[in-house]
Amino acid sequence: METLDRHRRTQDAFDAVLAAVPPDRWDAPSACAHWTVRDVTGHVIWGLEVLRHHASGREFTVENGPAGSEKPGELAGEDPPAVWRAAREAADAVVTGDLLGRPAPAWYVANRPDATVTDYLALLTFDTLVHTWDIGSALGMDVRMDPDLVAPSFSLARLIISRTPGTFGPRVKPPADADAQARFLAFLGRSA
C-alpha cells in the first residue's frame, strides 16, 4: 500500500503542475526532447490507460503513448487537465488491493516476467514524478519533489533506465552540493 500512496501523491503533484499550465503553453517544448507539454501529458495519460485496461483484462493497444513515440499529445486532447483527471479517476477506481498482486501489464512483463501491478505502479510513480518536473521546469516553475518520492524512484531508475534514443540521454554531472532531487535528475540526463 506504500507504493499506492506514493503513486497517488505523485499524481497530486502532477495535477498541480497541469493546473498551472497557461492555456497558450500546451504546445510549448517540454524538458523531454521532441515532446511538447501536451505530449508529456498524453504519455502520462497513456500509462494510466494501460493500467485501467489491464485491470479489466484488456490490453491498451494505442501506440502513440509509450516512451519515444510520436504525438502522444493526441491522447491529451484539447483540454489536457480534464482528460488527465478523467483518466486518473478511471484508473484509481480499478486499483484495489486484489489488483496489486496480479501480474503487470503485458508490455512490462515482457521485460520483467515476475513483475506485478505493484511494480507497474512504482514505474508509473517514477514516470509521473519525472514528467511533473519536465513540464514545470520547461515553463519556469520551481518544481520541488517530495524526497520520500525521489528515493524509491531513484532506486528504480538505477535498475531500469535504458539510454536509447527517445528515452533517456547521458547522465549529467550534478553539482558537488546537489540535493537528492538534483542527483536524480542528473542521472536521468536532466539539468536542475
Say what the pLDDT of residue 163 is. Answer: 61
> Which CATH number fits the domain that encloses residue 122?
1.20.120.450
Residue-range definition of the domain harbouring residue 49:
2-141
Say what the pLDDT of residue 10 is. Answer: 97
Say what the pLDDT of residue 110 is. Answer: 78
Say what the pLDDT of residue 1 is. Answer: 79
Say what the pLDDT of residue 141 is. Answer: 96
**Number of domains within the chain:** 1
- Residue 49 included in any domain: yes
Say what the pLDDT of residue 53 is. Answer: 94
- Residue 97 included in any domain: yes
- Residue given cell 554531472 in the structure block: 173
Q: Give 3-45 pLDDT, tens digit per residue.
A: 999 999 999 999 999 999 999 999 999 998 889 999 999 999 9
- Residue 90 included in any domain: yes
- Residue 100 included in any domain: yes
- Is the torsion defined by CA of 73, 182, 151, 162 positive or negative? positive
Say what the pLDDT of residue 94 is. Answer: 92
- Residue 44 included in any domain: yes
- Residue 124 included in any domain: yes
- Alpha-carbon distance 26 to 36, whole Å? 7
Which segments of the chain have a pLDDT < 50? none
In terms of residues, how long is the chain?
192
